[in-house]
Amino acid sequence: MLIRLRDLDLKMRCKKVALALAVAGMVYGFLADGLQAGPFEEEGGSQSKPNIVFIFSDDHAYQAIGAYGSQINRTPNLDRLASQGMRFDRCLVTNSICGPARAVILTGKYSHLNGFRQNGDKFNGSQQTFPKLMRSAGYQTAVVGKWHLGSDPTGFDHWFVLPGQGNYYNPDFLTPNGRKQVSGYVTDVTTDHALKWLDDRNQDKPFMLMLQHKAPHRAWLPSKDHLQTFEKESITEPSNLLDDYSGRAEVLAENAMEVGKDMRPGFDLKLFPDPESDQAKRFFRRFTPEQKSDWIAAYKNRNDHYLKYRESAKTDEQKRRLHYQYYIKDYLRCISSVDDNVGRVLDYLKQNSLEDNTIVIYSSDQGFYLGEHGWYDKRWIFEESLRTPLIIRWPGLTEPGSHTSQIVSNLDFPETFLDAAGIEIPADMQGRSLKPILAGQHPSDWRQSFYYHYYELGTHNVAAHYGVVTERYKLIHYYRKIDRENGRAKVNIDQWDLMDRLKDPNENMSFINDPLYEEARAELKVELQRLRDELKVSSN
């Protein structure tokens, strides 16, 4: 407010000033109340509340990111993001499987409370989610890419999502107006659409964009740009590729996710000696003739090599080693495309003057086994699938190139988004905002233990199990499995493992029956029950 003081006597000036101060105080109070209720303010027409871009991939192992010390691939754009923000070294998931992980992030609640325990469940879109809260507070919200929750997205101004798992080539997308096929490679197409939405959005509002990739989910189909990547390389094997599951709960040896005997030659290894066979035709049904030609040319020598050595690979050990090279290269090729497209997003934000006011998060729905324990896939509580990558760049808050070993979780993501937007975090959410950690603080009351629970039975013959995780230990209870010898009946079991990551970081042995761990075992059982009570886990 401008007050003209010229030509007034001193007394009148004082009265005017007093009035101006009173009015200013009232205006300030009004604005302050508004800021508490709303997510952003505008100064001279410029938005001051941060935008949020959440880039989410599917099955991306932290072991396959350069910033996490990968020895098997290169991820220059994810490394760039990490150099500008914070790398989280102990980000744990509540339930290591695709759909449930996504439901946890939307709701900030464990699977038993949000109702989505396993793939195949249907997400209740009428419940409270963070996109709804952000949208009602003035944010534009959009989700593009993989959804995998069985119901239409709610709480979004815009959605453009893959049906189910989606396809790598020329994928279909679901929209409010129906199904639409888009030509191209799914990772590129997803990014294309997300960037177009950023172009078309309301420029006067802050936004929350969930950009969710299908890759690198099985069956690991690389793009044309990366069909030859890693071609002449031999990828280093993990030290426990040949794990025989001895010394741990018997149920582990019953798994059906071993690199080698549990991989399908066509689906997983792209073995098509006859490209005109019925199997090949089904595989290539979504490819254009040009795309199919590129693939056949790229895989011909690989198929010939595989067929040459398959006959000599008689033992499980030989099969694992042979199949590992085929699997891991296609997996890493898919990640190369994800990394390329992360770079596209980072470049877009910079070129459009959004970099300084946009929080960028990169994560995956869970971790993944890259041959550790002889496995591919996820599900088990062991480190490679329990732990997911998390990198956050928050300009003005987070020290570039920093990292933390605090136990955090995908359960904390929605609270962090709401906190960043200045929106009150609902009391029934079960995680915590990561903002203090991102600011370099070390909260004295931060969690020292974590609860994990996997429910799904049948797929890959993984037993239902839950457990408590600390910095050093894991106490695991396997309580139900499929009995394949009895018509796939579901049977209750009571098997336990105790892992000591300090003594055995690769989790190759269990200390559950070791008398030296009697005290640790007792304390962990008490903590496990405490967490189940606190989190309202009423049953298995």
pLDDT in tens, 496-534: 999 999 999 999 999 999 999 999 999 999 999 999 999
pLDDT of 259 higher than 60? yes
pLDDT at residue 538 in the model: 85
pLDDT in tens, 235-248: 999 999 999 999 99
98-107 and 413-420 helices, crossing angle to 10°: 30
Label residue 273 by pLDDT band (50, 70, 90). Answer: confident
Label residue 493 by pLDDT band (50, 70, 90). Answer: very high
**Is 336 within 8 Å of 224 (Cβ atoms)?**
no
Label residue 467 by pLDDT band (50, 70, 90). Answer: very high
pLDDT in tens, 200-210: 999 999 999 99
pLDDT in tens, 331-350: 999 999 999 999 999 999 99
Q: Which residue has the tokens 């895989």?
A: 299
DSSP letter, residue 387: B
pLDDT in tens, 292-323: 999 999 999 899 988 888 888 888 899 899 99
- How far apart CA 359 and CA 54 sit, in angstroms, is 8
Select the more confidently predicted residue: 219 or 42: 219
pLDDT in tens, 410-463: 999 999 999 999 999 999 999 999 999 999 999 999 999 999 999 999 899 999
289-310 and 316-351 helices, crossing angle to 10°: 150
316-351 and 76-84 helices, crossing angle to 10°: 60
Q: Report angle CA 14, 15, 18 to the nearest 5 degrees.
A: 85
State the amino acid at position 367 in one-letter form: G
- How far apart CA 213 and CA 363 sit, in angstroms, is 11
Q: Which residues contact 148 (CB under 8 A, 6 or more apart)?
A: 98, 99, 102, 119, 162, 164, 165
pLDDT in tens, 70-108: 999 999 999 999 999 999 999 999 999 999 999 999 999
pLDDT in tens, 3-56: 333 333 333 344 443 444 443 443 333 333 333 333 334 433 345 799 999 999
Q: Which residues pair with 388 in a beta bridge?
A: none
pLDDT at residue 272 in the model: 83
- How far apart CA 241 and CA 372 sit, in angstroms, is 5
Label residue 485 by pLDDT band (50, 70, 90). Answer: confident
Distance of CA 235 to the CA centre of its chain: 24
Pairing mode of beta strands 158-162, 140-146: parallel
Pairing mode of beta strands 172-175, 473-483: unpaired
pLDDT at residue 458 in the model: 86
pLDDT at residue 47 in the model: 57
- How far apart CA 376 and CA 182 sit, in angstroms, is 30
Kindly report the CATH number that applies to the domain delimited by 49-221+325-534. Answer: 3.40.720.10
- How far apart CA 187 and CA 189 sit, in angstroms, is 6
pLDDT at residue 428 in the model: 97
- Backbone φ and ψ for 453, nearest 5 degrees, come out as -150, 120
pLDDT in tens, 184-193: 999 999 999 9
State the amino acid at position 292 in one-letter form: K
Q: Quick one: what percent of the chain has pLDDT higher than 70?
A: 91
Q: What is the mean pLDDT of the chain?
A: 91
Can you tell me whether residue 272 is helix, strand or coil? coil
C-alpha separations of 211 from 15, 337, 386 in Å: 57, 14, 22
Interval 369-385 mean pLDDT: 98
DSSP letter, residue 119: T
Question: How many other β-carbons are positioned within 10 Å of the β-carbon of residue 138?
Answer: 17
Q: Report angle CA 521, 524, 528 to the nearest 5 degrees.
A: 135
- How far apart CA 371 and CA 301 sit, in angstroms, is 24
Instruction: Write down the pTM of the prediction.
Output: 0.91
pLDDT in tens, 144-198: 999 999 999 999 999 999 999 999 999 999 999 999 999 999 999 999 999 999 9
Residue of 440, 486, 187 whose CA lies nearest to 338:
187
Interval 268-286 mean pLDDT: 89
